[in-house]
């Protein structure tokens, strides 16, 4: 029996565990007792993270579409074809007619290489990844207000705070090991405010549970800030010493009286006042948020208000405080850090800056790099239907189920001149591809993942990949070589990290020998630097913190006579996104085997719906069949549906309207109609 210490492939908590193997096969998982996040615990997905690895559905050979069906071929044939066809699309339609989608499931090294491949070899900035669907509002909103779009504090800070405001994060189900930290802190006397209209697990332990209308967070936060200022609960020293533009904020929130806020949010005046007093009255306050804040057509405005509330109350730059956007995927923080973004190189260095472009061009041995900002992933589908995009290379994403408005996504993916998908399973997206490349999964390779608290941690190889599957980094390097590029030959991921460190100041001090056992938190600028648990200690990354006021706006699509319900979408504890891994893990699939929709008992009674009835849900974009779950988890008029299930795909319904600044889709609000099937 062999035990290999590695990182969980699911969420951004970044627990480490031992993969237990016997004669080359994984047989189980054991938690790491010394790890600062997992501390001997794991959630149900972590315990089962070995289960999908040897699933018979794993891709074991490259596939090429011939006569309408995908057929196995050699790596030589598949990769030569990838290069020839990408080049053919570019020759016909220009360099920017292809787009590369990177993966928050892949390592830092692999994300760095795919962005290098796009930019240095194929001459385009069309590189992006699922952060666009997730925390792009955070990256934009916090870059403007603080200068850096990452979680400001560390997970250990939950043990050192007086009040926690959880807004739009179902923490115990989606970041379970952070959720249990919060519950522990509450047991020891920390105050908890939950602002989320679902009665999530944390809400049951909260001192205050604000069940405001979906999409009314700007109104709520403006109202809370109005009370804080009016009652003299702000932190004038912090505002004076550390921030700018306070007057504009004070003016913008001045007429958000409790009465007006109550009308806009559907809350009572008393609970809004109580929340303001409880948060501002504490010595140390932490704000935790996730998709309930970011996935709106005004997601960046939501983030601006959160940053403002933290600064107004002096809750930045100390232990037990801060603005803490919980990053979702195991390596979505790393995907962003590595510059798998259309306007940024690794370390958030701007494509628009000629000196930055020169630096990367010199290091990569190319004469010039494109200065034209690339396409955000969420604009790719529209760009393709408008005739600007003809080819996509998708590594480790499944947009057929994860993109908004599935009908539109399907039409686009089916009509591309070239679709290449590199995955570990034949996903719904891969099934549409012209070429499919089989990748090794987390248990079969080395590399690093960066968790939500910016901790860069080492993956270790426990078993061999199935069949001919290869690590993503090896496949990318092979593509580069076949495209005639000499600058992508590496003997191991450790060597790739040395290149990343040399070009990326926040990772400047990262080398593999320093990551044992539990990684380092960036910024870590040099070899002697111990890493940074808390950001913005003495000054903000941008200098002074900037107050950016925001105006309340309604969601793009509201209920009407024809579509009378608000649908909000999200996740469940047992499943991961499009289900490619968790629905192939027997225990997880047994717990949550099918698609469902939550509706309130009052709505159910009115519609004559009972638990487990079959329902047809329709929106302006499509319809799905699903099963009723009658529950007071939701408020009357609001339905909740997870997007994990291909049969009953929530994204057949969702609205692909985007936040104009971050290009995030409004996954959290659309209008639907409910019909009970006979």
Contact residues toward Mo ion (CB under 5 A) are 134, 328
| Residue 14 contact partner, candidates Mo ion, ligand SF4, ligand MGD, none, CB within 5 to 8 A by sort of partner | ligand SF4
Give residue number: closest CB to ligand SF4: 46
Window 20 to 39, contacts with ligand SF4 (CB under 6 A)? 38
Do residues 391 and 98 make contact, with C-beta atoms less than 8 angstroms apart?
A: yes
**First-last CA distance in the chain:** 55
| Token representation of residue 71 | 């057929």
Distance CA 173, CA 514 (A): 32
| Residue 339 contact partner, candidates ligand SF4, Mo ion, ligand MGD, none, CB within 5 to 8 A by sort of partner | none
Please report how many Cα atoms fall inside a 13 Å half-sphere around the Cα of residue 81, on the Cβ side.
18
Judged by CB under 6 A, which stretch of 5-13, 90-98, 303-311, 344-352 contacts ligand SF4?
Answer: 5-13
Number of residues that bind ligand SF4 (CB under 6 A): 13
| Residue 103 contact partner, candidates Mo ion, ligand MGD, ligand SF4, none, CB within 5 to 8 A by sort of partner | ligand MGD
Do residues 25 and 55 make contact, with C-beta atoms less than 8 angstroms apart?
A: no
Task: Give least dist CB 678 to ligand MGD, A.
Answer: 28
Distance CA 442, CA 8 (A): 8
Nearer to ligand SF4, 150 or 426 (CB): 150
Nearer to ligand MGD, 321 or 569 (CB): 569
Task: Give least dist CB 366 to ligand MGD, A.
Answer: 25
Nearer to ligand MGD, 41 or 317 (CB): 41
- What are the C-alpha distances in Å from 433 to residues 66, 83, 280, 414, 476? 11, 15, 53, 8, 18
Instruction: Identify the three-state secondary structure at position 117.
Output: helix
Of the candidates 307, 45, 282, 42, the one whose C-alpha atom is nearest the C-alpha of residue 178 is 42
Task: Please give the radius of gyration of the chain, using alpha carbons only, rounded to the nearest integer.
Answer: 24
Which of 5, 6, 10, 121 is the binder for ligand SF4 (CB under 6 A)?
10
Phi, psi of 392 (to 5 degrees): -130, 140
Distance CA 509, CA 528 (A): 7
| Token representation of residue 598 | 């939550």
Our finding on whether 292 is near ligand SF4 (CB under 6 A) is no
CA 539 to the chain's CA centroid:
27
Nearer to ligand SF4, 176 or 285 (CB): 176
Which of 5, 26, 42, 653 is the binder for ligand SF4 (CB under 6 A)?
42
Per-residue contact string for residues 133-172; x = within reach of ligand SF4 by CB under 6 A: ----------------------------------------
Crossing angle of the two packed helices 258-265 and 217-230, in degrees rounded to 10 = 170
Distance CA 346, CA 418 (A): 27
Distance CA 447, CA 51 (A): 21
Which of 64, 142, 165, 177 is the binder for ligand SF4 (CB under 6 A)?
177
Task: Give least dist CB 405 to Mo ion, A.
Answer: 18
Distance CA 422, CA 475 (A): 9
Distance CA 310, CA 129 (A): 29
Nearer to Mo ion, 325 or 328 (CB): 328
Task: Give least dist CB 180 to ligand SF4, A.
Answer: 9
Which of 5, 15, 139, 183 is the binder for ligand SF4 (CB under 6 A)?
15
| Residue 398 contact partner, candidates ligand SF4, ligand MGD, Mo ion, none, CB within 5 to 8 A by sort of partner | ligand MGD
Distance CA 657, CA 555 (A): 10
Of the candidates 257, 184, 187, the one whose C-alpha atom is nearest the C-alpha of residue 226 is 257
| Residue 42 contact partner, candidates ligand MGD, Mo ion, ligand SF4, none, CB within 5 to 8 A by sort of partner | ligand SF4
Judged by CB under 6 A, which stretch of 40-48, 194-202, 630-638, 657-665 contacts ligand SF4?
Answer: 40-48
- What are the C-alpha distances in Å from 83 to residues 87, 413, 476, 502? 6, 19, 11, 29
Task: Give least dist CB 441 to ligand SF4, A.
Answer: 14
Task: Give least dist CB 508 to ligand MGD, A.
Answer: 26
Q: Where are the beta strands (DSSP E) in 160-258?
A: 163-167, 191-195, 208-210, 243-244
Nearer to ligand MGD, 580 or 595 (CB): 580
Judged by CB under 6 A, which stretch of 41-49, 65-73, 149-157, 193-201 contacts ligand SF4?
Answer: 41-49
Count of all residues that appear for the chain in the document: 678
Task: Give least dist CB 109 to ligand MGD, A.
Answer: 12
Judged by CB under 6 A, which stretch of 10-18, 312-320, 467-475, 492-500 contacts ligand SF4?
Answer: 10-18
Counting runs of H as helices and runs of E as strands, what totals does the chain give?
24, 28
- 199-224 burial code (b ≥16 CB/10 A, e <16): bbbbbeebebbbbbbbbbbbbbbbbb
Nearer to Mo ion, 328 or 466 (CB): 328
Nearer to ligand MGD, 609 or 639 (CB): 639
DSSP for 20-44, please give it: EEETTEEEEEEE-TT-TTTTT---H
Task: Give least dist CB 236 to ligand MGD, A.
Answer: 28
| Residue 13 contact partner, candidates ligand SF4, ligand MGD, Mo ion, none, CB within 5 to 8 A by sort of partner | ligand SF4
Task: Give least dist CB 443 to ligand MGD, A.
Answer: 9
Give the residues lining the site for ligand MGD (CB under 6 A).
11, 103, 105-106, 130, 133-134, 167-170, 173-175, 195-196, 198, 200, 214-215, 217, 290-292, 295, 328-329, 395-399, 402, 422-425, 427, 439, 441-442, 472, 568-571, 573, 575-578, 580-581, 643, 650-651, 654, 667-668
Window 43 to 102, contacts with ligand SF4 (CB under 6 A)? 43, 45-46
Nearer to ligand MGD, 153 or 656 (CB): 656
| Residue 396 contact partner, candidates Mo ion, ligand MGD, ligand SF4, none, CB within 5 to 8 A by sort of partner | ligand MGD
Distance CA 271, CA 206 (A): 13
Crossing angle of the two packed helices 493-503 and 108-116, in degrees rounded to 10 = 70
Task: Give least dist CB 28 to ligand SF4, A.
Answer: 14
User: Under 8 Å CB-to-CB from 310, ≥6 apart: which residues?
Assistant: 285, 287, 316, 321, 322, 323
| Residue 170 contact partner, candidates Mo ion, ligand SF4, ligand MGD, none, CB within 5 to 8 A by sort of partner | ligand MGD
Our finding on whether 303 is near ligand SF4 (CB under 6 A) is no
| Residue 648 contact partner, candidates ligand MGD, ligand SF4, Mo ion, none, CB within 5 to 8 A by sort of partner | none
Binding positions for ligand SF4, rule: CB under 6 A: 8, 10-11, 13-15, 38, 42-43, 45-46, 176-177
């Amino acid at each position: 029996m062999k035990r290999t210490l590695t990182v969980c492939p699911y969420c951004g908590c970044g627990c480490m565990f031992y993969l237990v193997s016997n004669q080359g096969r994984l047989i189980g998982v054991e938690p790491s007792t010394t790890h600062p996040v997992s501390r001997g615990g794991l959630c149900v997905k972590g315990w089962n993270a070995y289960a999908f690895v040897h699933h018979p559905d794993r891709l074991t050979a490259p596939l090429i579409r011939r006569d309408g069906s995908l057929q196995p071929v050699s790596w030589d044939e598949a990769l030569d074809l990838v290069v020839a066809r990408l080049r053919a699309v570019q020759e016909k339609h220009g360099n920017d007619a292809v787009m590369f989608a990177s993966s928050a499931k892949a390592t830092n090294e692999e994300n760095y290489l795919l962005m290098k491949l796009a930019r240095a070899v194929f001459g385009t900035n069309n590189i992006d990844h699922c952060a666009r669907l997730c925390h792009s509002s955070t990256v934009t909103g916090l870059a403007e207000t603080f200068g850096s779009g990452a979680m400001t504090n560390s997970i250990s800070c939950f043990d050192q705070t007086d009040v926690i405001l959880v807004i739009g994060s179902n923490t115990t189900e989606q970041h379970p090991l952070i959720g249990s930290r919060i519950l522990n802190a509450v047991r020891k006397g920390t105050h908890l405010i939950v602002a989320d209209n679902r009665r999530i697990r944390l809400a049951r332990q909260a001192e205050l549970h604000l069940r405001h209308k979906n999409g009314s967070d700007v109104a709520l936060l403006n109202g809370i800030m109005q009370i804080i200022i009016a009652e003299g609960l702000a932190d004038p020293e912090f505002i004076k010493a550390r921030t700018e533009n306070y007057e504009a904020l004070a003016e913008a929130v001045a007429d958000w009286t409790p009465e007006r806020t109550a009308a806009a949010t559907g809350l009572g005046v008393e609970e809004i006042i109580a929340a303001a007093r409880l948060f501002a009255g504490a010595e140390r306050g932490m704000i935790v948020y996730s998709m309930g804040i970011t996935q709106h057509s005004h997601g960046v405005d939501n983030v601006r208000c959160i940053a403002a509330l933290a600064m107004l109350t002096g809750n930045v730059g100390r232990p037990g405080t801060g603005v803490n956007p919980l990053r979702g995927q195991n390596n979505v923080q790393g995907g962003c850090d590595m510059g798998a973004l259309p306007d940024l190189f690794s370390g958030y260095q701007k494509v628009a800056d000629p000196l930055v472009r020169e630096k990367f061009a010199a290091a990569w041995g190319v004469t010039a790099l494109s200065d034209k900002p690339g396409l955000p992933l969420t604009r790719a589908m529209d760009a393709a239907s408008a005739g600007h995009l003809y080819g996509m290379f998708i590594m480790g994403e499944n947009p057929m189920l994860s993109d908004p408005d599935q009908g539109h996504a399907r039409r686009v993916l089916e009509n591309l001149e070239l679709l290449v998908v590199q995955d570990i399973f034949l996903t719904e997206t891969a099934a549409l591809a012209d070429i499919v490349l089989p990748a090794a999964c987390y248990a079969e390779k080395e590399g690093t993942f960066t968790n939500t608290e910016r901790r860069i941690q080492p993956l270790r190889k426990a078993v061999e990949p199935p069949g001919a599957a290869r690590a993503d980094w090896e496949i990318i390097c092979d593509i580069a070589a076949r495209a005639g590029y000499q600058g992508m030959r590496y003997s191991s991921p450790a060597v790739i990290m040395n290149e990343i460190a040399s070009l990326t100041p926040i990772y400047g001090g990262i080398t593999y020998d320093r990551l044992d056992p539990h990684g380092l938190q960036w910024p870590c600028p040099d070899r002697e630097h111990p890493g940074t648990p808390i950001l913005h200690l003495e000054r903000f990354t941008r200098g002074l913190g900037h107050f950016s006021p925001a105006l309340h706006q309604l969601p793009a699509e509201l209920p009407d006579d024809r579509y009378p319900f608000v649908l909000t979408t999200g996740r469940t504890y047992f499943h991961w996104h499009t289900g490619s891994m968790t629905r192939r893990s027997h225990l997880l699939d047994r717990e949550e085997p099918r698609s469902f929709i939550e509706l309130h008992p009052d709505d159910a009674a009115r519609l004559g719906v009972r638990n487990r009835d079959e329902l047809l849900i329709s929106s302006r974009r499509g319809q799905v069949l699903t099963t009723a779950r009658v529950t007071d988890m939701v408020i009357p008029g609001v339905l909740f549906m997870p997007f994990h299930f291909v049969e009953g795909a929530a994204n057949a319904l969702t609205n692909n309207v985007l936040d104009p600044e971050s290009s995030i889709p409004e996954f959290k609000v659309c209008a639907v109609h409910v019909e009970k099937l006979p």
